[in-house]
Structure 1
Amino acid sequence: MKNKNLHTKAIELLFNLIATQSFSSEEDKTAALIEQWLKGFDILFTRTNNNVWAINKYFDSSKPTILLNSHHDTVKPNGDYTRDPFKPEIINNKLYGLGSNDAGGALTSLLSTFAHFYEKEDLAYNIVIAATAEEESSGQMGLNSLLIDLPEIDFAIVGEPTLMQLAIAEKGLLVLDCRSIGTPGHAAHIKNENNAIFNAIEDLQWFNSFEFPKTSEVLGKVKMTISQINAGKQHNVVPEACDFVVDVRVTDAYTNKEVLKIIEENTKCKVKARSMRLNSSSISIDHPIVQSGIGLGRTTYGSPTLSDQAVLSCPSLKLGPGDSTRSHSADEFIYVDEIKRGIDLYIKILEGIL
Structure 2
Amino acid sequence: MKEVELNNKSVNLLFEQAIVLLKKLIAIPSFSKEEDKTADCIQEFLEKRGIPTHRAMNNVWAYNKHFDSLKPTILLNSHHDTVKPNFSYTLNPFEAIEKDGKLYGLGSNDAGGALVSLITTFIHFWDKEGLKYNLILTATAEEEISGINGIESIYSSLGAINFAIIGEPTEMNLAIAEKGLLVLDCVAKGTPSHAAHPNNNNAILKAFRDIDWFSKYKFDKVSDLLGEVKMTPTIINSGSQHNVVPDTCTFTIDVRTTELYSNAAILKIIKDNIKSEVKARSMRLNSSYISSKHPFVVAGLHLGRTHYGSPTSSDQAVIPCPSLKMGPGLSTRSHSSDEFIYVAEISEAIQIYNSILKQIL
In the TM superposition, structure 1's runs of 4+ consecutive aligned residues that sit over 6 Å from their partners are none
Residue 326 of structure 1: aligned partner: 333
Residue 215 of structure 1: aligned partner: 222
Shift of 1:288: 0.3
Q: 2:108 aligns with which of 75, 84, 100?
A: 100
Residue 301 of structure 1: aligned partner: 308
Shift of 1:11: 0.6
RMSD over aligned Cα, in angstroms?
0.8
Q: Distance in 1 between matches of 2:119 and 2:242?
A: 57
Q: Distance in 1 between matches of 2:101 and 2:89?
A: 19
Shift of 1:186: 2.2
1:16-39 superposed Cα distances (whole Å, 9 cap, x missing partner)? 111110000000000000011101
SS in 1 for 2:279: strand
Q: Give the TM-score normalised by the residue count of structure 2.
A: 0.97
1:79-117 superposed Cα distances (whole Å, 9 cap, x missing partner)? 111111111101101100100000000000000110000
Q: Distance in 1 between matches of 2:241 and 2:247?
A: 12
Shift of 1:152: 0.8
Q: Distance in 1 between matches of 2:314 and 2:322?
A: 14
Number of aligned residue pairs: 353
Residue 56 of structure 1: aligned partner: 64
Residue 134 of structure 1: aligned partner: 142
Structure 2 residue 62 is matched with structure 1 residue 35:
no
Structure 1 stretches lacking a partner, 5+ long: none
Q: Distance in 1 between matches of 2:85 and 2:246?
A: 37
Equivalent positions of 1:1-354 (< 5 A) are: 2-188=10-196, 190-354=197-361
Q: Distance in 2 between matches of 1:162 and 1:235?
A: 49
Shift of 1:342: 0.5
Structure 2 stretches lacking a partner, 5+ long: 1-5
Q: Distance in 1 between matches of 2:82 and 2:242?
A: 41
Q: Give the TM-score normalised by the residue count of structure 1.
A: 0.99
Q: Which amino acid aligns with 2:114?
A: A
SS in 1 for 2:76: strand
1:168-212 superposed Cα distances (whole Å, 9 cap, x missing partner)? 100000000011001112223x12211100010110000001110
Q: Which amino acid aligns with 2:126?
A: Y
Shift of 1:130: 0.4
Shift of 1:74: 0.3
Q: Distance in 1 between matches of 2:325 and 2:65?
A: 25
1:142-168 superposed Cα distances (whole Å, 9 cap, x missing partner)? 011011111111010000000000001
SS in 2 for 1:352: helix
Q: Distance in 2 between matches of 1:125 and 1:10?
A: 24
Q: Distance in 2 between matches of 1:207 and 1:258?
A: 16
SS in 2 for 1:33: helix
SS in 2 for 1:136: helix
Q: Distance in 2 between matches of 1:178 and 1:330?
A: 33
Give the fraction of aligned pairs with identical amino acids, expressed as a percent: 61
Shift of 1:313: 1.0
Q: Distance in 2 between matches of 1:20 and 1:101?
A: 15
Q: Distance in 2 between matches of 1:15 and 1:56?
A: 25
Shift of 1:243: 0.5
